[in-house]
Amino acid sequence: MLAAQANAQVAIATARELSMVSRGVAKSVRKGNPLYIPGKSTVGRTGLYSFQITQALERRAVRSFIQARKTRRELVHNTRSRFLDPVVHVGNINENLTPFTQSASFLSTPRQTRAYLIARENRLYVQQTKHLFQEIIPRLEENLPRLREGIYTHTPKDPVRFVAQAIPQQVNTIAIGETHGFYDIQEFIVHFLPEIRKAHPDQEIFLFTEFASKEEKYPAGSLAKSDPQRKKIWQAADENNMQIVGLEPNEVLQDYSILSTLQDKNAYVLITAGGKLQRFPFFASANGIKWRNESFLRTIQEYRAQHPDAIFIIYAGNAHINTRIPFAITPFLDTQKTFVINLLPTRAQVEQRFPQYAQVEIRSLWDPLGDELDGKESFNYPLLYWQDPELVRVAGANIYLQARDNLFSK
C-alpha cells in the first residue's frame, strides 16, 4: 500500500513538473522562439526540444533565486538556520542525484539538472523561511511565559534518568536528535538505551538510525564491528535486546564521504553565508534532507504497521528530528505518542570542534531558540523541557539537553 502511494506521488509530481516546464516553453514561444524545428527530435514523450526545456528551467532557476532573495530580505532579520540562504549554484552533477530527479524524467543534460535543482532548493527555502518567520516565531513569542517555565538553570544530577523518567507512559516513539561529531552526545545515548529497556522490560524495541542502510539487516554484533565510530551505541542496543534498523538509502551511504570531506568530485550546492559563498554537500542540503526524511518516514511507518505495540527509538541528526522543521520526521508522527529529545553541544565544545565558525554562525547552527528566552541565548541553559504538544511543536523538542564534558561517565 505504501509503495503504491509512493509511486502515485511520483507520478503526480512528474505531471506537475512537466506542466511547469510546458508553461515555460509556452512563454518562450510567445516571445518568438520556434515551436517546431525540422530535423530535431523531441525529448521522450514531452513533445519538447531539449533547448526549450533548458531555457524554461533556467528561467525558473533565476526567478526562484530572486523570490528567495526577496523573501530573505523581507523576513530574515537574523540568521536562525543553516539553510536560510538562497542557493546560487549546483555543481558536479552526477548519478548520485538521481533520487532527487525521479519526478523529472525529461532532464537530459547536466545544465538542465543544475537549473532544476537550483529552483527546487530555492522554492523550499521560501517555504521553510515563511514557515519559520510567519508561523513558528510568532507562536514562540506568544508563548514566551510558558516557554520560560521549561528553563532549567542547572543540569539534573542524573540527566539520563531524568530524561527517561520524563517520557510519558503512553509514548511509543522516542526520537533522539544529535549534533554530529560530539563524543559526549553519543555517551548520553549509550547510557540512555538501558534506561528505556528497564522501563519496557517485555516489549519489542527497535532502534532506527540514519547511520545504517535501510537495505541491510543487522543481526546482533554486526553493526558494532562495521561502525567503530558509534560502536558503543550499537553494543548497548545489542546488550539490551534492541533490533537495529537502518534508515539511510544506499544512494547516500555509497557516497557518505561528502558529509565530511566535501570532495570536488561530489555534487554540491553553493549558498551565501556570512557574505561568502560556501560549498555544501547536496545530500545535506534542505532538499537532500527532505528527500531522506521522506524515505526514513516510509520505513518507520512500514515497521509500525507490522509492530503496533513495539517501542521505537529513532536516532538521527537534529535536522531529521526537530519538530520546527516542516519536512522533519516528527511532525508526521502521532504527537501524543512521540517524545522528542535534541542533544546539543556546549558553546565551548562547538568552538573547540569548529574554530572556523564565527560567533553568529555558532549561534545559528547550534542554538535552538536564539535569544527568545529572557533575551538570552539557549546556550546559557543546560536543559529546556516542555510537555505540552503545542509548545513542543514551536520549540522543536520536548527536551533540549547539553551534553557537557564527562556528564554521562560512570
Phi-psi region of 276 (alpha: psi -120 to 50; beta: other; left: phi over 0): beta
d(CA 374, CA 153): 12
d(CA 117, CA 113): 6
Reply yes or no on whether the pLDDT at 46 is more than 60. Answer: no
Reply yes or no on whether the pLDDT at 193 is more than 90. Answer: yes
Q: What is the pLDDT of residue 361?
A: 44
Q: What is the pLDDT of residue 30?
A: 47
d(CA 200, CA 310): 10
- Return all residues near 23 (Cβ < 8 A) that are at least 6 apart: 56
155 burial (CB, 10 Å; 0-12 / 13-18 / 19+) is middle
The set of cell numbers assigned to 178 is 544529535
> Where is pLDDT greater, at 257 or 113?
113
Domain residue spans of the chain: 2-137, 157-266+283-402
Judge contact between 122 and 67, C-beta under 8 A: yes
Alpha-carbon radius of gyration of the chain: 23
Judge contact between 61 and 107, C-beta under 8 A: no
Instruction: Give kind and range of the element (H or E) at residue 67.
Output: helix 50-75
Reply yes or no on whether the pLDDT at 350 is more than 90. Answer: no
Mind listing the pLDDT tens digit for each residue in 176-189? 998 887 777 888 99
Percent of the chain residues past pLDDT 70, beyond the cut: 67
Give the sign of the dihedral formed by CA 308, CA 238, CA 295, CA 108: negative
Q: What is the pLDDT of residue 182?
A: 78
Reply yes or no on whether the pLDDT at 257 is more than 70. Answer: no
Q: What is the pLDDT of residue 198?
A: 96
d(CA 100, CA 289): 11
Quick one: CATH architecture of 157-266+283-402?
Answer: 3-Layer(aba) Sandwich (3.40)
d(CA 207, CA 281): 27
Q: What is the pLDDT of residue 225?
A: 85
CB atoms under 10 Å from CB of 11, counted, come to: 11
Cα 118 to Cα 62, 103, 389, distances in angstroms: 9, 15, 35
Q: What is the pLDDT of residue 321?
A: 93
Widest pairwise Cα distance in the chain: 78
Q: What's the rounded mean pLDDT across residues 195-201? A: 96
> Where is pLDDT greater, at 310 or 344?
310
Q: What's the rounded mean pLDDT across residues 188-193? A: 94
